Amino acid sequence: MPARKLPPTLKLADYYMGRDKLHRSELSREIRANARETLRRVNGLMRRAGLMRKVTSGWRPATINATVPGAARGSKHLSCLAIDLEDRNGALDAWCLAHPDVLEELGLWLEHPDATPGWCHLQTQPPRSGSRVFYP
Ligand SMILES: [Zn+2]
């Protein structure tokens, strides 16, 4: 059997990580729309970069977010406005740092790679500082 290739784009199921079933009552219509938009932008980014990545953290219902060490109470993961992608070799983070114009075009903000060893955090709303690349 030939090796399966990675899917070309991330799907909602990748983003929800099964939590849409366990925490259905927290998943409002607005939050679902946010999730679709986050995936649209992030899939666009990965296509542009030529780097496909898996989700390491997608939607975090409040009860789950509370168990994540260091996760902010106001985390954008709560409302499906943020995603963490596997990035052990740092290649996606490095690409994002080198292409702030693409982040701007797609409407994405990047947590500084110094704060995200091994993963890449992207969000679809600006942080309070408004900086395209920011520290949490
Ligand atoms: Zn994150």
**Looking at residues 87-98, what average pLDDT do you find?**
98
Answer for the pair 76, 108: CB distance below 8 angstroms, yes or no.
no
pLDDT band at 46 (very low <50, low <70, confident <90, very high): very high
Q: How far is the CA of 2 from the centre of ligand 1 (A)?
A: 34
Q: Residues 123-135: pLDDT tens digits? A: 999 999 999 999 9
Q: How far is the CA of 4 from the centre of ligand 1 (A)?
A: 28
Tokens of 71: 């996760």
What pLDDT does residue 63 have? 87
Going along 67-128, which residue ranges are E strands?
Answer: 82-86, 109-111, 119-123
In one letter, which amino acid is 114? D
Q: Residues 105-124: pLDDT tens digits? A: 999 999 999 999 999 999 99
**Looking at residues 85-97, what average pLDDT do you find?**
98
Q: How far is the CA of 85 from the centre of ligand 1 (A)?
A: 8
Q: How far is the CA of 82 from the centre of ligand 1 (A)?
A: 6
Domain 12-134 has CATH 3.30.1380.10: yes
Is 90 buried (19+), middle (13-18) or exposed (0-12) by CB count in 10 A?
Answer: middle
